[in-house]
Structures are given as structure tokens and as C-alpha cells.
Amino acid sequence: PPGSAAFTISVARWSGADLSEVNAPVIDAAVGLTKRFQLSATIPHVVGGADDTRPGGGWGTSYFSGKVALLDDSDGSGVKLALSPVLEMLGAAAVQSLPEGESRYQVGLPVSIEVTRGAVRMFGAAGLFSRGAWFAGGGVGFPLTPRMGTSMSFTRSWAQTDVEGVHRNRSEISGGVYCFVKPQIAVYGSLGHTIATS
């Protein structure tokens, strides 16, 4: 709603092959400006990784987005639809791996849908980034108790490289659990795993 805000702080670690990275804190914030428009940002701080040749600290890849509600469930249908243009700003370590002259900024255009049926929430998103990467995914969330709930999702991203038409793709599954310790404060944990990549 207009004038309301959400703030999340978390710690994240990812690893794959011989690389890993720890982000602490990861700051997420969103604020409602009008009934159908909000601004949000995700800004991680990198504290370390497995690659000693890259900087161990500083701000990581950050995302700044606006969210426009195309359908807002005001008719009681349980269906929400949104367009969320996003600006990605690569962190220092990611910039080092870019080809010379390539920008650290790219723009994404996701479309997301949410359908609520009773206590069950189904969601999905699809879109593209300006460097030619596409993505799609979906999931489901539902309560376990009045104060605790869970969600599970599947995502896939793919792109064509400039090297001999080689295609890259990645699929991931993830799941999480949240618990409200107070009506406006929740704690959560999540885990994801890449299940297919090329």
C-alpha cells in the first residue's frame, strides 16, 4: 500500500565448482509509492569468496526495480499480475570477468503472476535481460501453522553465447520456511540447488 515499506536483512552463501561467495548483509527494501507502484532494491555486501584473485569485500551485484500492478486483486479474483522493470548493477568481482568495454549495467523486464486459492499461493515469472538472457520459473507457498509457512520453486534461465552458437542454460530448485515471531517481524531460511546446467 502507499506509504508502507518492507525491510529484510539476511546472510547468503553460494558455491559451485571451485567458486563460492558469502554475502553479509544482504539488504532488501521496498516502499509503496501509489496503490499500483512500488520501488525496491536488493544490495548485497560481499565479505569473502573462494577466488583469492578477486576482491574479498565491497558491494556485490545489486538490483533496483519498480513494480507496476497490472491486476491487483481488487475484484476478489485472487489473481495479481505485475510488470517489474529492473536495473542490474554488477559487483566488482563480476565486472572483472566482463569482456573489455562491456557495461556493468543491464536492464531486465520480468512479468510476474500470483494466484491465491484459499491459503495456497501459486506464483510465476518470466522475462529477459538486455544481454540476451531469458528466464522463467514458478512455485507454490502455503502455511504450515498460523505462524509458519513454506514455499518451493523451480527456475530456468538460458542464453546463447557469441562463441559458435553455444547455448547456456541452468535450472534450479529451491525451498524455504518462514516463521512470524511478531505480526510484523518474521525470520526465514532457504536453500537452493542447481539441478541441470550446460
- Please report where in the chains the cell 555486501 appears, as a residue: 45
The full DSSP string for 65-119 is EEEEEEEESTTSSSEEEEE--EEEE--HHHHHTSPTT--SEEEEEEEEEEEEETT
Whether residue 164 is predicted with pLDDT greater than 60 in this model: the reply is no
Kindly tell me the burial class for residue 53, based on how many C-beta atoms sit within 10 Å of its own C-beta (0-12, 13-18, 19 or more). Answer: exposed
- Judge whether 196 and 170 are in contact, CB under 8 Å: yes
pLDDT at residue number 63: 97
Whether residue 132 is predicted with pLDDT greater than 90 in this model: the reply is no
**Lowest pLDDT segment from 51-60, 86-95, 102-111, 155-164:** 51-60
Residue 172: band (very low, low, confident or very high) from pLDDT cuts 50, 70, 90:
very high
φ and ψ at 177, to 5 degrees?
-135, 140
pLDDT at residue number 49: 66
Whether residue 53 is predicted with pLDDT greater than 70 in this model: the reply is no
State the cell numbers at 125. Answer: 515469472
pLDDT at residue number 32: 97
- Please report where in the chains the cell 573489455 appears, as a residue: 100
Three-class DSSP category at 64: strand
Mean pLDDT over the full length of the chain: 90
pLDDT at residue number 98: 82
